[in-house]
Structure 1
């Protein structure tokens, strides 16, 4: 009985540990005075015309900003908007997203080789065969010391995207995953 319970517990841990999001970059500046930072703001990108200027892209980036704001606020940082009376923020946050079209392949097996009768120098070799395409998205978050203009945290998370696009819950989960590696909690 204990063996079955142990197996079920192990299986549940394995299922919950699997995440569709993979952190592909997590670099921090150890010399940065992390405990002195209190406020943050997003880099103004209103003058930049995004290549994928669709409404879906813009709304997804706004959701990413909301998710980043939530994560930084949970860690004790205060957002400073465009209101200059509030002063210059300690940190600037820059976000970026890249979506690539990928081709899924599989290798052929010897059982798929054509039957061949004839010359002795027949050669068969396994090869990759395309079986489908999918989209892979990478979300990058850069945090910069606003006064020194130094990059102090550079993180990115990667995931395969569904055919219907990205939902708010998926964005929140991806941003939450990358912030599990955030260097410090501000008090």
Structure 2
């Protein structure tokens, strides 16, 4: 009975840990010589987006989220843009193995045959990475890149769309460089 309770508690702790890892870790890099205030318009860079190795539905979700974020920042979508937007997306399966040994107790440090065991728990999760590249349209040079890494939840379409929005929002929070919104 104790073994079953301990196993259940351990499984709950592991599940809680996995779901608490839902935040997106973000880093950004940029050209310090660029004046980002001069960029007012954008368009999507089709050759770069076509290379992204994700399905077209997820591409459209990501692009809509980026478009919404840029418009909220005061940008305008244009046929003659200042910035070209490209994406790179990838995912990988992570396997975590938890080996938990618990031993019995008896007289002093003796052996107790009713409370002894080894509990292994194997869990898998999908970790995704999304890069958003902003390219100076005139110079055709990368001027800013934001990367978000986090766990993906693909249990249903609504959760998937919300997770994509969260990735894009977190990445775009650090654009333009020096912005204080966190």
User: What's the TM-score bracket when you normalise by the shorter of the two chains?
Assistant: 0.5 to 0.7
Name structure 1 gaps, 5 residues minimum: 1-17, 81-85, 113-128
Alignment partner of 2:71 out of 53, 56, 73: 73
Deviation at 1:50, TM superposition (A): 5.4
Deviation at 1:162, TM superposition (A): 2.1
**What is the 5 A alignment of 1:29-68?**
29-45=31-47, 48=50, 51-52=53-54, 57-68=55-66
Aligned residues of 1:23 and 1:155 also touching (Cα < 8 A): no
Say which SS state the counterpart of residue 167 (structure 1) adopts. Answer: helix
Is residue 148 of structure 2 the alignment partner of residue 150 of structure 1? no
Is residue 137 of structure 2 the alignment partner of residue 137 of structure 1? no
Aligned residues of 1:28 and 1:183 also touching (Cα < 8 A): no
Deviation at 1:110, TM superposition (A): 6.9
Aligned residues of 1:106 and 1:131 also touching (Cα < 8 A): yes
Q: Give the distance between the partners of 1:151 and 1:46, measured in 2 at CA.
A: 12
Q: Give the distance between the partners of 2:161 and 2:49, measured in 1 at CA.
A: 25
Aligned residues of 1:21 and 1:177 also touching (Cα < 8 A): no
Question: What is the aligned partner in structure 2 of residue 92 from structure 1?
Answer: 84
Is residue 162 of structure 2 the alignment partner of residue 182 of structure 1? no
Q: Give the distance between the partners of 2:141 and 2:49, measured in 1 at CA.
A: 22
Alignment partner of 2:166 out of 169, 173, 178: 173
Say which SS state the counterpart of residue 177 (structure 1) adopts. Answer: helix
Deviation at 1:22, TM superposition (A): 2.4
Q: Give the distance between the partners of 1:142 and 1:31, measured in 2 at CA.
A: 17
Question: What is the aligned partner in structure 1 of residue 29 from structure 2?
Answer: 27
For residues 109 and 19 of structure 1, do their structure 2 counterparts lie closer, same or farther at Cα, with a shift above 3 Å needed? closer
Q: Deviations over 1:1-60 (max 9, x none)?
A: xxxxxxxxxxxxxxxxx77232342112221121111110111138946545xxxx2111
TM-score, with normalisation over the residues of structure 2? Answer: 0.67
Query: 1 or 2 for the larger relative contact order (CA 8 Å, sep ≥6)?
Result: 1
TM-score, with normalisation over the residues of structure 1? Answer: 0.66
Q: Give the distance between the partners of 1:133 and 1:66, measured in 2 at CA.
A: 29
For residues 180 and 137 of structure 1, do their structure 2 counterparts lie closer, same or farther at Cα, with a shift above 3 Å needed? same
Name structure 2 gaps, 5 residues minimum: 1-19, 105-119
Q: Give the distance between the partners of 1:47 and 1:143, measured in 2 at CA.
A: 12
Is residue 159 of structure 2 the alignment partner of residue 161 of structure 1? no
